[in-house]
Amino acid sequence: MSLETILPWAAAGGITCFIFALTTMFSGNKSRASERLDELRDPSLRRGAAGADKSPGGGSVSDAIGKAAPKLSKALESKSELEQSNLKVRLANAGYNSPNASQFYLAIKVFSLGAGAFMGLGYGTMMYGMTQKAWMALAVGGGLGFYIPELILMILRSSRQGKIFLQLPDALDLLVVCVEAGLGLDAGMRRVAEELSDTAPEVCSELDAANMHMQMGRPRREVLRELGIRTGVDDVRALAAILIQADKFGSSIAQALRVQSDSMRVKRRQIAEEKAAATAVKMIFPLVLFIFPGIFVVLVGPAAIMLINNLLNA
């Protein structure tokens, strides 16, 4: 076998061994002091507790990933608190509110970068050998692997915000009914979350989180302000601002909710009318590209055939 044939397999084997060594290093056993600290945080991890892992080296894949995530994320972790908070807000807008969500996200980006570089190198070496094009394929694969998580996060964030925007008017109508029936704002939000858990899961999850924060003793103004930031939807932010002002000045919460619900329905109706008006313009391109050529063949085809026959017979 030639050197050009052996070299790609040797590079792939070396990268595989390197990844295996990293996984083994990150999933190693903890010291007894770290284990005792974990047991103090989570009593279910204590030895002899029900459901605890009694095997000496028993660690699952998720545990290994959880141990490796903080170390992998350090390579991309920003030192600026503003950038860290922006990342947490973007993850919260996509529905990931865990405290470790940013670490897992950065670890996924590092792993995706390595996987993309590995796949690019494998493809480049198989197609071009160990040439400059192979290293170019490695760079392209690494770049794609690095930005794919960003693209997926943007899609998830946009999809969730759109669902919240469409589900919010119905939730507000039910909340108005609950408040006008005599329930408080906290009890009304809890009732809405219970009733619409199947039809509006995104809005209900946010309301459940807000109720939990208020039950833990946090001020209502902070909870409502964080609700608007966590969702990232302008209408939710406006709703939070209206509720904060109503709570501050003592005005009617039911009236504020009704005004906000009516304005949201008008806005949603205007968006639907705008999309309906733009349909005629969007239909021009498929008409010209697909329907008009068929009509042209049906209408002009027989006349063209007759014209050709007359010219040939003349």
Overall pTM surpassing 0.75 (yes/no): no
Say which CATH topology domain 160-271 has.
Receptor-associated Protein (1.20.81)
Consecutive H or E run containing 128 = helix 101-128
Quick: pLDDT tens for 148-188: 988 999 999 999 988 888 888 888 888 888 888 888 888 88
Q: Which residues of the chain have pLDDT under 70?
A: 1-80, 314
> What is the per-residue DSSP string for 56-80?
TT---HHHHHHHHHHHHHTTT--S-
- Phi and psi, residue 7, nearest 5°: -60, -45
Quick: pLDDT tens for 113-133: 888 888 888 888 787 777 778
Return mean pLDDT, the chain: 77
Q: How far is CA 161 from the centre of its chain?
A: 10
Q: Residue 223's pLDDT is what?
A: 87
Percent with pLDDT over 70 in the chain: 74
- Phi and psi, residue 235, nearest 5°: -65, -35
Q: Residue 22's pLDDT is what?
A: 55
Structural domain boundaries of the chain? 3-42+61-158, 160-271
Q: Residue 155's pLDDT is what?
A: 92
Q: Residue 53's pLDDT is what?
A: 43
- Phi and psi, residue 100, nearest 5°: -95, 15
